A and B are shown apart, each in its own frame.
Chain A
């Protein structure tokens, strides 16, 4: 380090470690009124540590979007390490809006890959329900350009709605096809005991739900909720000390794009996803065809559609149709959002990226809902301004 971005055997990076996931844990996503941010973060951290069979780590990376606004608390590295009883370790928070979890995971991967840390815990946490009224909407809009987007009263949903409107215009896409994304997520959440909404919804109920920011309706948008998820990382070499089924981080990339949607050459594709995916596939020496499952960032129906395209599974403009055909269902060509996605599992913003990795890990360990050798997760911050793409695979 520093070297070409990448892990393992890329040129100049031979000295870097392969990284493995050896522990996972989370809290149920929802509205735990009687639990604080520190409580859910500590709960998930220890759940992952127990899963890995460790009682100490030498690093803690916290993924969190906006604790300062949601609960008036910063310095989460110290807070969580302190209350988890982890002592004077290396601990800090990283932030990439709703993509904070993915960014934290990437940071943890870098820490282990570089050899600077042995066993690292990545904890994504968000406590959103401590604010009341319209405050959460205002705080979420901080993911966009405050001075040139949010100041105009354009909400986060609003930005995505404009992307969706343009997408429908450019590709002549049908709203009912796009709406099949949340239908799929809800269907998959039924079996997930950690999901916020464990019930199926009909396509009609999505289409007919009230508009939040036209053409995005309420049932196309992920809920405001709380949750924490944690991952224990170590080197591939040491992984077997902790588990029989280590999951290997085959590709990991974080890319950014312009903060404002208005500065994109094309608003219907997220260049940050395209670039992060390209790098992650290269690193993993795998292609979209090798992916057995995908955790898409379906915070809004349209983001799921565009994710399918930007990750290389279908051509631009074909994502909605692909989803509507049922190809993203369990048993379909590419099972997506297998534990309910952001829409039904819930989207505690800074924790979401870690929940995705955890769910992917379950599927790859063989204890999940799909049988997968390789899987991919995409976590988006803002309306595509920070995107992380992670490719995981079995250790074979």
Chain B
């Protein structure tokens, strides 16, 4: 169990906090320290809005150690409104009715826990946009 590793990432993982290049305006999620577009090292925090569409997806039926509690679950490449793509689970969804292009929104969920006694790792997942009455 690595506590510092998860602690270090927690803010970015809870909030989908990425970076923005001050010189070329390129956005990054995951956050970077060197711009992937222009190599500038002058970057600032950028808060992604958390809305997007499914770019591709799969249904994980053989999860790795620690992830069986949600089996089976959907994972996707989500293309954010801002244009960046992030990898995340799709939760609260009907596994038989996912499709490329489906609009989704970010939520915070339990990613996994180190057993019964270890830390719980929380982070972003996406879900189909909540229908509003």
Name A residues whose Cβ lies closer than 8 Å to a Cβ of B.
133-135, 137-138, 141, 145, 147-155, 157-159, 161-163, 165-166, 169, 210-216, 258, 260-263, 267
Q: Tell whether A158 pairs with B68 under 8 Å between CB atoms, given A147-B9, A153-B75, A169-B100.
A: no
B116 CB-CB contact with A under 8 Å: no
Instruction: Determine if A153 and B70 form an interchain contact, defined as CB atoms under 8 angstroms apart.
Output: yes
Residues in A with CB closer than 8 Å to B60 are 153-155, 158, 213
Instruction: Determine if A214 and B59 form an interchain contact, defined as CB atoms under 8 angstroms apart.
Output: yes
Instruction: Determine if A134 and B64 form an interchain contact, defined as CB atoms under 8 angstroms apart.
Output: yes
Instruction: Determine if A151 and B62 form an interchain contact, defined as CB atoms under 8 angstroms apart.
Output: no
B113 CB-CB contact with A under 8 Å: no
Once A and B bind, how many residue pairs between them come within 8 Å at the CB atom? 111
Q: Beyond A138-B65, A157-B62, list 9 extra A-B contacts (CB 8 Å).
A: A152-B88, A153-B89, A161-B58, A163-B56, A211-B59, A213-B62, A214-B61, A267-B56, A267-B77
B48 CB-CB contact with A under 8 Å: no
Instruction: Determine if A134 and B63 form an interchain contact, defined as CB atoms under 8 angstroms apart.
Output: yes
Q: Tell whether A152 pairs with B64 under 8 Å between CB atoms, given A162-B56, A165-B57, A169-B100.
A: no
Residues in A with CB closer than 8 Å to B5 are 147
Q: Show 22 A/B contacts (Cβ-Cβ < 8 Å), sorted by A.
A: A134-B66, A135-B65, A141-B64, A145-B30, A145-B87, A152-B87, A153-B64, A153-B70, A153-B111, A155-B60, A158-B75, A162-B58, A163-B56, A166-B56, A169-B56, A213-B58, A213-B60, A214-B61, A215-B58, A262-B85, A263-B85, A267-B56
**In the bound complex, CA of A208 to CA of B63 (Å):** 21
Residues in B with CB closer than 8 Å to A211 are 59, 61
Q: Tell whether A137 pairs with B87 under 8 Å between CB atoms, given A214-B58, A261-B77.
A: no
Residues in B with CB closer than 8 Å to A138 are 64-66
Instruction: Determine if A151 and B65 form an interchain contact, defined as CB atoms under 8 angstroms apart.
Output: no
B123 CB-CB contact with A under 8 Å: yes
Q: Which of A135, A165, A258 has the most CB of B within 10 A?
A: A165
**In the bound complex, CA of A138 to CA of B121 (Å):** 16
Q: Tell whether A137 pairs with B65 under 8 Å between CB atoms, given A152-B88, A162-B56, A169-B56.
A: yes
Considering only CB atoms, which chain A residue lies closest to B73 in the complex?
A: A153
B102 CB-CB contact with A under 8 Å: no
Residues in A with CB closer than 8 Å to B61 are 210-214
**In the bound complex, CA of A152 to CA of B86 (Å):** 11
**In the bound complex, CA of A159 to CA of B75 (Å):** 9
Considering only CB atoms, which chain A residue lies closest to B31 in the complex?
A: A148
Instruction: Determine if A150 and B64 form an interchain contact, defined as CB atoms under 8 angstroms apart.
Output: yes
Instruction: Determine if B87 and A260 form an interchain contact, defined as CB atoms under 8 angstroms apart.
Output: yes
**In the bound complex, CA of A263 to CA of B70 (Å):** 26
Residues in A with CB closer than 8 Å to B66 are 134, 138, 153
Q: Which of B59, B64, B75, B89 has the most CB of A within 10 A?
A: B64
The 0/1 profile, CB within 8 Å of A marked 1, for residues 10-52 of chain B is 0001000000000000000010000010000000000000000
Considering only CB atoms, which chain A residue lies closest to B6 in the complex?
A: A151
Tell me how far the C-beta of A128 lies from the nearest C-beta in chain B, rounded to whole angstroms.
14
Contact of B87 among A135, A214, A262 (CB under 8 A): A262
Residues in B with CB closer than 8 Å to A162 are 56-58, 75-77
Considering only CB atoms, which chain A residue lies closest to B74 in the complex?
A: A214
Residues 99-127 (chain B) with a chain A CB within 8 angstroms: 100, 111-112, 121, 123, 125
Instruction: Determine if A216 and B111 form an interchain contact, defined as CB atoms under 8 angstroms apart.
Output: no
Tell me how far the C-beta of A134 lies from the nearest C-beta in chain B, rounded to whole angstroms.
4
**In the bound complex, CA of A154 to CA of B57 (Å):** 10
Instruction: Determine if A154 and B100 form an interchain contact, defined as CB atoms under 8 angstroms apart.
Output: no
Considering only CB atoms, which chain A residue lies closest to B55 in the complex?
A: A166
Q: Which of B5, B57, B77 has the most CB of A within 10 A?
A: B77
Considering only CB atoms, which chain B residue lies closest to A137 in the complex?
A: B64
**In the bound complex, CA of A161 to CA of B88 (Å):** 14
**In the bound complex, CA of A157 to CA of B70 (Å):** 17
Considering only CB atoms, which chain A residue lies closest to B100 in the complex?
A: A169
B67 CB-CB contact with A under 8 Å: yes
**In the bound complex, CA of A141 to CA of B57 (Å):** 17
**In the bound complex, CA of A155 to CA of B89 (Å):** 11
Tell me how far the C-beta of B115 lies from the nearest C-beta in chain A, rounded to whole angstroms.
14
Residues in A with CB closer than 8 Å to B112 are 153
Q: Which 6 A-B pairs have the closest CB atoms?
A: A161-B58, A153-B67, A138-B64, A166-B56, A134-B65, A162-B56
Q: Which of B13, B58, B62 has the most CB of A within 10 A?
A: B58
